[in-house]
Structure 1
Amino acid sequence: MNHIGNPGHIERTPPHNEEAEQALLGAILINNKAYEKVSEFLRPEHFYDPAHQRIFAAISEEVEAGRKADPVTLRDRFASDADLAGDGGGAAYLVRLVANVVTVVNARDYGEIIRDTFLRRQLIEVGFDLVNTGYQPDPDMRAGKLIEEAESQLFALGDHGSALRPVMSSADGVAAAMEANERAWKNKGQVLGVTTGLVDLDRKLGGLLPGLYVLGARPSMGKSGLGLNTIMLAAAKAGHSVLAFSTEMATEKVSRRHLAAETGISSDRQTQGDFSEGEWLALMDAQQALGTLPLHIDDTPGVTVPHIRRVARRHKRRHGLGLIIVDHLHRMRASKRAEDQGETAKITEITSALCSIWKEFGVPVLLLCQLNRDLERREDKRPNMADLRQSGSIEQDGDVIMFLYRDEYYLAREEPAKRADETEEKYNERYERWCKRSEEARNVAEIIIEKNRDGPIGTVKVFFDGPRTLFSNLDRGE
């Protein structure tokens, strides 16, 4: 008999239900169709008795191959099974399983009992592992990290124990699609999802709908300004509860940008106290207005997905939840196993887990990320999918992938200098072309939609206000 010890040194038998295991195996051996009731969620390792594990594995193999599984067809496999020798031998045990069956109707119930006791045993193992690690701490494993590791194990166990989503018929699928179509039809011309505050972008995307949105850019393009300032403020002002995770900037710095967006007093001027009495009053008014908005910021450095999930659950209970923003991907941490395997494994784990988060909460998740520096070597520095770092899982998991680009940023750093072999006339012509391009690019940013799972792709031009770190609609009259 297997036993699990506890901290009080009392030996207790792990949770299991031998009668349910025997009843299920007997039911399937009588009628193989009973296997279909449990095949979607039950596995051999879920059984407590090792002999029962092997019997169920053999049944699965036969039935999956289209062959009959009964005491006769399985006899030779278990005739000499050592674990069943005390029960008159394996062949006799199979016959007895069938003989003791009362009904096959409850096969699924038996299967769920078996899986439930398996999960309880796994939960106990996780608990004991946590206790043992707590008593023998690793100097490199702080308590916070230990909690996150335990939380990851519990979430994995929860995913393992979750019932499969029911298979939806074509009729149900079409009905759900038509309900969404009807809502779109009745609200034609209106934003269906969370507004970004940018009309042309909302028109392309329909607003931010439940899904994973990736916004990539090189440093200094303004991606934090777009995500944590423009979109965050617009969504909150529209009544959506916004939860942001800022791994780069402290909450105070993000809030200072919010004040700049509202008053026009730049963050650096605020930091230096460079404002008039009238501007101070404007800041006070902005503080009051911003204080009423449903937005919250978590500036935990090196945030993990389990941390995001835990905070989001608490936030949803207390404040509701309409949008999650994460700034940014490459500052996040993954599980120790993924971290040890390298950057690609880390990114894959994180983006996959963020997909599960938007599905769990039914809200859009906006994920900001850095791009490869290799694009700086190109003449045309507009980003594309290939510029995403460890792009495979990002491309796969992202429902919408966007890039932020400002030609103005690069042109300001490329002011022409007169070449030694260049005439004054040629230099002036070249300088005038640069001036013209710089004027055309002034305060203009491009949001390049490279992937849109449910809509069009293309480029949206918006206005960029540097001192306020704010993006707004481009005046088409300009």
Structure 2
Amino acid sequence: MNQAATFNATGAEVRDAQTMPHSIEAEQQLLGAILTNNEVYDRVASIIGAEHFYDPVHARIYEVAAARIAKNNLASPVTLKAFLEDDEGLKELGGPAYLARLAGAAISAFAVRDYAQMIHDLAVRRELIGLGHEIAGKAAQVDVASEPADQIVEAEQRLYQLSEQGRAESGFQSFLRAVTDAVNVANAAYKRDGGLAGVSTGLEDMDRKLGGLHKSDLLILAGRPSMGKTSLATNMAFNIAKAYRRGPLPDGSEGAVEGGVVGFFSLEMSAEQLAARVLSEASEVPSEQIRRGDMTEGEFRRFVEAAKDLEACPLHIDDTPALPISQLAARARRLKRTHGLDVLFVDYLQLVRPASARTEGRVNEVSEITQGLKAIAKELDIPVVALSQLSRQVEAREDKRPQLSDLRESGSIEQDADVVMFVFREEYYKEREKPGDHDLEAMGKWQEEMEKLHGKAEVIIGKQRHGPIGTVELSFEGRFTRFGNLVKPWQQGAADAGF
């Protein structure tokens, strides 16, 4: 027993005495090169940030220099002196004279990228060591409230953040960095056709209202059964995956310049049923005929060609039922790491399980799930589209158009979502109001109303945090479970003329 205690104490001493990996010389060389030649900064800005420096004084020098260079101002020992002469850490190193020594000792700007990569890699190693100690410490504490499965998910989340961002905890960021990110998003939208800041859904009027699907947004798509929630979600997913094109992004990295890689969690339907829906839309063969195999030769040929085209589409389906929100997040992270991920669909929210069985009450469970989905959107920096059921109170009203209060367990859904949309097809309700054949006048009026409503659907935007609310009209072809852009009366002439 004493031997074990001695061994543990010795291990702790060795660990504490262990010097965290770093290179003060590399940091000095890099800063010196930047202060001597500001153009060097552009070559290293995509590799490192102030948070990667081991010496906190070096981190502050880099941050001030970066802020000045971003504003097209000179960053030199003389100009930085005014900003840093009261810095206590710099005083210990010799005050503003240290800045001059850094610039004077810089050998060459030729190797700056190598120095930057070295500083970044050493910072990641330090984070890994810290994370390893933290995981080991938590695992050693046998606590009833901390399940091993939860610890694995948490460890995976932290490691994912580290692999993506170079830091396990991002913490606070300067306003300058946040403003730069906002300007970059606006610039990308300005340059892109159609002026979309987000990923295009392939439905023009919807894109115009939403500005596309924005990164880190949680979008709720709700509706009563048979309104076409899943159909609209699969249409959007297929449109995004079909348009996928990879290329260089503004920050210099590679990624989706059009469309995107799509993840689809289908908790209600099997992957095969979902694929059949997508194939029905793409091949224009009714889904019930696909299920029965009842197709003409021409239809079967279209079906096979559509299947070949879809093979290359980056649309990934997971049909595991009753997934806990923690597992859903872990699988989304894994997909992003292995194949990339630009948009995530969840069909549907009420079928996701909370992470812990200890959650009391259905409202609290749904709250945990919506908060988890919003956390996935922010962590993976992607739009998450979650489908949701509506309560039966819609059916009791004269006007069947849904509203925010119709959301089941609505408080948390309404609060956590950035966008709430409702799918509504009046044709569905009108069809059930068919009068008896003996009442010819009522039948004539009913048929007239049905003709006006036939093939039309509405997407009602009930909440949008960054844009307008309102209604988007879409076309709906029930045979192919397909939503599309609706030709307006003033566009009819151009459409007929073939424009």
- Counterparts of 1:52-91 in structure 2 under 5 Å? none
Provide, for residues 330-382 of structure 1, a one-character-per-residue CA deviation record: whole Å limited to 9, x for no partner. 010112245x4121111111111111111111111111111111111111111
**Residues in 1 aligned to 2:474 and 2:316: alpha-carbon distance in whole angstroms:** 26
**Residues in 1 aligned to 2:264 and 2:366: alpha-carbon distance in whole angstroms:** 19
Question: TM-score normalized by structure 1?
Answer: 0.67
> Which of 175, 178, 182 in structure 1 is aligned with 2:183?
178
Which amino acid is the alignment partner of residue 443 of structure 1? G
**Residues in 1 aligned to 2:290 and 2:148: alpha-carbon distance in whole angstroms:** 39
> Which of 456, 480, 484 in structure 2 is aligned with 1:444?
456
Q: Quick check: 1:126–1:153 contact (8 Å CA) kept in 2? A: no
CA 222–148 in structure 1, closer or farther in 2 if over 3 Å, else same = farther
Which amino acid is the alignment partner of residue 271 of structure 1? R
Which amino acid is the alignment partner of residue 450 of structure 1? G
Q: What is the aligned partner in structure 2 of residue 389 from structure 1? A: 408
RMSD: 3.8
- Counterparts of 1:11-50 in structure 2 under 5 Å? none
**Residues in 1 aligned to 2:398 and 2:465: alpha-carbon distance in whole angstroms:** 29
Number of residues of Structure 1 aligned to a counterpart in Structure 2: 364
Q: What is the aligned partner in structure 2 of residue 151 from structure 1? A: 152
**Residues in 2 aligned to 1:461 and 1:15: alpha-carbon distance in whole angstroms:** 66
**Residues in 1 aligned to 2:478 and 2:212: alpha-carbon distance in whole angstroms:** 24
Question: TM-score normalized by structure 2?
Answer: 0.64
**Residues in 1 aligned to 2:186 and 2:136: alpha-carbon distance in whole angstroms:** 47
SS of 2:194's equivalent in the other structure is coil
Per the TM alignment, residue 249 of structure 1 is displaced from its structure 2 partner at its CA by: 0.6
Q: Quick check: 2:263–2:332 contact (8 Å CA) kept in 1? A: yes
Q: Quick check: 2:219–2:417 contact (8 Å CA) kept in 1? A: yes
CA 360–173 in structure 1, closer or farther in 2 if over 3 Å, else same = closer
Q: What is the aligned partner in structure 2 of residue 213 from structure 1? A: 219
Q: What is the aligned partner in structure 1 of residue 468 from structure 2? A: 456
Gaps of 5+ in 1: 20-103, 107-114, 134-145, 419-423
**Residues in 1 aligned to 2:273 and 2:157: alpha-carbon distance in whole angstroms:** 35
Q: Quick check: 1:151–1:306 contact (8 Å CA) kept in 2? A: no
Q: What is the aligned partner in structure 2 of residue 353 from structure 1? A: 372
Q: What is the aligned partner in structure 1 of residue 331 from structure 2? A: 311
Q: What is the aligned partner in structure 2 of residue 416 from structure 1? A: 435
Which amino acid is the alignment partner of residue 399 of structure 1? D
Q: Quick check: 1:194–1:207 contact (8 Å CA) kept in 2? A: yes
**Residues in 2 aligned to 1:304 and 1:474: alpha-carbon distance in whole angstroms:** 38
**Residues in 1 aligned to 2:339 and 2:383: alpha-carbon distance in whole angstroms:** 16
Per the TM alignment, residue 157 of structure 1 is displaced from its structure 2 partner at its CA by: 8.1
Provide, for residues 420-463 of structure 1, a one-character-per-residue CA deviation record: whole Å limited to 9, x for no partner. xxxx8xx5444333222211111111000011111111100101
Per the TM alignment, residue 306 of structure 1 is displaced from its structure 2 partner at its CA by: 2.2
Q: Quick check: 2:421–2:459 contact (8 Å CA) kept in 1? A: yes
Q: Quick check: 2:455–2:476 contact (8 Å CA) kept in 1? A: yes
Q: Which of 1 and 2 has greater Rg?
A: 1
CA 435–164 in structure 1, closer or farther in 2 if over 3 Å, else same = same
Which amino acid is the alignment partner of residue 196 of structure 1? T
CA 366–15 in structure 1, closer or farther in 2 if over 3 Å, else same = farther
Aligned-pair identity in percent equals 37
CA 443–345 in structure 1, closer or farther in 2 if over 3 Å, else same = same
- Counterparts of 1:176-255 in structure 2 under 5 Å? 176-187=181-192, 189-210=194-215, 211-228=217-234, 230-239=235-244, 240-255=260-275
